[in-house]
Amino acid sequence: MTAPALSLRPPAPRWALPALVLGAVAIGFSPIFVRLSELGPLATAFWRVALAVPLFHLWAVAAGRRSGGHARLDRAARWRLVLAGLLFTGDLATWHWSIHLTNVANSTLFANFAPIFVVVGAWLLFGERPRAIFLAGLVLTFAGAACLVGASFTVSTDHVLGDGLAMITAVFFGSYLVAVKDLRNRIDAARLMLWSSVVTAAALLAIALLAGERILPDSLYGWLILFAIAWISQAAGQGLIAEAMGHLPAGFSSLVILVEPLAAALLGWIMLGEALGPIQALGAILVMAGILIARRGT
């Protein structure tokens, strides 16, 4: 009697890691767009998702034609899509609100604690037990992220609510990434992003209306900012992340997304004239070194 063949995870395609990095860079634009928006944080978050839904629909249609048609979603997948949509609702609502209540540096740093929750969730749900070298890379990457925002980071009682919301954002976003990884083991990225975004958009619209925020911008400039955050940060950024996470470990994926504060710092330098000093340069090096080290532990 022969021994059963071992089931091994197929190697990730070469494009998966570059796609993940590009997605993180794309969502690095979002803090700038939120600050430039004419609308409040919740209304901006609603349009960020709603204006991306048509693009996700086109993607889902194209993916269905390429694969010869989509299989019907079972009840478990539908409930998981609803959960992913609600988790992303919490992520966007708390983060966009925190950006208005604290500075971008504090909000970005605290929100990027999400990998901690992803590593724990991936260990419990998918058996992705972190190795010591991966944890070393995680610590190094966090140190780099702290250096990137260190010059602008402030500790003040005036920022307590905003900082607290950014920490809650990390919980929501980490949980969302775990939900995305779980769904990517079941369905394609296109349908995942389409239906979870429909749930997110509906929930954010209700929250924005209850909060009394103005829903429509006043000018063409306001609409352009909304389309920019929807098509760049949401459609391109989150779409690429969801696609790549179907091929990469959840914990490592969440760590690579810490390229976002590096991208935000560079974009702030290019678009807002916020020069980078030697501490920020050190942070960039630490972030990239941490990711490379963590890659050896996955």
Proportion of the chain above pLDDT 70, given as a percent: 83
- Sorted by sequence, the CB contacts under 8 Å of residue 164 that are 6+ apart come out as none
Beta carbons of 22 and 241 less than 8 angstroms apart: no
Q: Per the domain annotation, does 6 fall within a domain?
A: no
DSSP code of 197? H
Q: Tokens 């678009």 label which residue?
A: 271
For residue 151, the model assigns a pLDDT of 53
**Alpha-carbon span 135 to 267, nearest angstrom:** 28
**Alpha-carbon span 232 to 235, nearest angstrom:** 6
| Side chain identity, residue 268 | G
Residue 271 clears pLDDT 70, i.e. is over it: no
Q: Is 76 helix (H, G, I), strand (E, B) or coil?
A: helix
For residue 270, the model assigns a pLDDT of 67
Residue 113 clears pLDDT 90, i.e. is over it: no
Q: Per the domain annotation, does 11 fall within a domain?
A: no
Q: Per the domain annotation, does 162 fall within a domain?
A: yes
Question: pLDDT band at residue 250, thresholds of 50, 70 and 90?
Answer: confident
Kindly report the average pLDDT of the chain as a whole number: 81
- Sorted by sequence, the CB contacts under 8 Å of residue 20 that are 6+ apart come out as 240, 241, 244, 245, 248, 253, 256, 257
Q: Per the domain annotation, does 1 fall within a domain?
A: no
- Per-residue pLDDT of 172-202, as tens digits, reads 988 898 899 889 888 899 999 999 999 999 9
Residue 65 clears pLDDT 70, i.e. is over it: yes
Q: Model-level pTM? A: 0.80
Picking from 31-35, 107-111, 148-152, 281-285, which range would have the lowest pLDDT averaged per residue? 148-152
**Alpha-carbon span 162 to 103, nearest angstrom:** 8
Among the listed residues 27, 19, 94, 18, the one whose alpha carbon sits nearest the alpha carbon of residue 258: 27
Residue 123 clears pLDDT 70, i.e. is over it: yes
- Sorted by sequence, the CB contacts under 8 Å of residue 50 that are 6+ apart come out as 201, 204, 205, 230
Taking residues 253-263, what's their average pLDDT?
76
- Per-residue pLDDT of 23-61, as tens digits, reads 988 988 887 888 889 999 899 999 999 999 999 999 999
For residue 1, the model assigns a pLDDT of 44
Q: Per the domain annotation, does 178 fall within a domain?
A: yes
Proportion of the chain above pLDDT 90, given as a percent: 32
Q: Which domain holds residue 181?
A: 16-296
How many separate domains does the chain show?
A: 1
Q: Which residue has the higher pLDDT, 264 or 93?
A: 93
Residue 77 clears pLDDT 70, i.e. is over it: yes
Taking residues 236-251, what's their average pLDDT?
88
For residue 21, the model assigns a pLDDT of 87
- Per-residue pLDDT of 130-143, as tens digits, reads 788 878 887 887 78
Residue 2 clears pLDDT 50, i.e. is over it: no
Residue 204 clears pLDDT 80, i.e. is over it: yes
Q: Per the domain annotation, does 2 fall within a domain?
A: no
Q: Tokens 């269905």 label which residue?
A: 64
| Side chain identity, residue 298 | T
Residue 232 clears pLDDT 60, i.e. is over it: yes
Q: Which residue has the higher pLDDT, 104 or 63?
A: 63
Residue 4 clears pLDDT 50, i.e. is over it: no
Picking from 5-19, 62-76, 219-233, which range would have the lowest pLDDT averaged per residue? 5-19
Q: Per the domain annotation, does 286 fall within a domain?
A: yes
**Alpha-carbon span 164 to 157, nearest angstrom:** 11
Question: Mind giving me the DSSP string for 200-257?
Answer: HHHHHHHHHHHTT---S-SSHHHHHHHHHIIIIIIIIIIHHHHHHHTTS-HHHHHHHT
Taking residues 227-249, what's their average pLDDT?
92
Taking residues 215-227, what's their average pLDDT?
95
